[in-house]
Amino acid sequence: MEKVLVTGANGFVGQHVVDTLQQYDCEIIGLTKSSEIDDTLAQKLDVHVVCDLTKPEQVAELALQGITGVINLAGIAVNNPNEPDSANLISTNISVHTNLYEQFMRQGVSPRIIAVSSGAVYSPNQPMPLTEDSELASGATAYVASKIAMEQAIKPYTTMGLDIIITRPFNHTAPLQGPSFLVPDWAERLSTLEKGQSVDVSRLGSWRDFLDARDVAAAYTSILQTPEHQLTTDTYNICSGRPLQTYHVIQLLANELGVELPFEEKPSSESVIYGSSDTLTQDTGWKQKIPLEKTIRDFANWYSSKL
């Protein structure tokens, strides 16, 4: 890695990617839609570029020469089934990829590109664990549809010579994660509980695959560094490989926040969804390093420091 472009660098995962890249001898270019970024992040970037990747005219102004790696985290990340503007979500999550890759083609630059999709693209009604060859979802949320459509939209660029690797990270959390996701939403709910107040845990019966976002960031950099001849596929799952009941995750969070989780009875077991990252491990040597207990502890400490 010599010169790495991180799009969505000011996002939750983007900031962890920047932290991970600081461990290597490379120039870090952070691309954000907004010109205003946190001072701490700004100090970690060698170059800060402001660009709306959904706007072709802005993307055309980017100077991409010399870039050897890209981690494309741009787009709308919230998996909200009630998304009011589904068409915008889908078009955004496609164009932030295609506009950028079109510009790489025009400028004759071919870096290793990590195109971030999601582990949510798989149909839940099939044998577990989910592998890269498992069946994709149909009739899913707009978010899932946008990720599946994005994967299809960027395929032609690989046939035209771009080195694009699609990644499908499963559920991940860590410090810096904002609202609209499981752990931060429950952290807010638990921190505002009044004594004797009950909590509905009936929807916490599902079993899911959880990972630390810092491990996800490490997976991206591992793929960037792996020689092309060692990569056996163009798509990789990033996951822990084991299911945990959502209730257990929230119980860990409550313990770390010093809150008793009030409930009448535990939720019954529901659907079980988890993936396999065996191919990623075999090809790059990446492995999960951070246990969930540490992830939740670090998140709780970070969250409490903001109160």
Q: What is the pLDDT of residues 271-299, one digit of tens each?
A: 999 999 999 999 999 999 999 999 999 99
Prediction pTM value: 0.96
- Burial label, 249 (beta-carbon count in 10 A; 0-12, 13-18, 19+): buried
Instruction: Delineate the domains of the chain, giving CATH numbers in brackets.
Output: 3-174+213-241+275-289 (3.40.50.720)
pLDDT at residue 34, rounded to an integer: 95
Report d(CA 28, CA 69) in Å as an integer: 10
**Residue scoring higher pLDDT (75 or 139):** 75
pLDDT at residue 192, rounded to an integer: 86
| Among 114, 109, 97, residue whose Cα is nearest residue 17 | 114
pLDDT at residue 265, rounded to an integer: 61
Q: In the predicted model, what is the mean pLDDT of residues 166-174?
A: 99
Confidence category of residue 200, pLDDT binned at 50, 70, 90: confident
Tell me what the pLDDT averaged over the chain comes to. Answer: 94
Report d(CA 176, CA 288) in Å as an integer: 20
The answer to whether residues 78 and 143 touch, using CB atoms and an 8 Å cutoff, is yes
Report d(CA 201, CA 184) in Å as an integer: 16
The answer to whether residues 245 and 282 touch, using CB atoms and an 8 Å cutoff, is no
Report d(CA 72, CA 10) in Å as an integer: 12
pLDDT at residue 226, rounded to an integer: 98
Confidence category of residue 163, pLDDT binned at 50, 70, 90: very high
Does residue 261 surpass a pLDDT of 90?
no
pLDDT at residue 84, rounded to an integer: 59
pLDDT at residue 246, rounded to an integer: 94
pLDDT at residue 264, rounded to an integer: 60
pLDDT at residue 243, rounded to an integer: 97
Q: What is the pLDDT of residues 125-136, one digit of tens each?
A: 999 999 999 999
Q: What is the pLDDT of residues 40-96, one digit of tens each?
A: 999 999 999 999 999 999 999 999 999 999 999 999 987 665 665 789 999 999 999
Does residue 140 surpass a pLDDT of 90?
no
Does residue 196 surpass a pLDDT of 70?
no
pLDDT at residue 86, rounded to an integer: 87
pLDDT at residue 79, rounded to an integer: 61
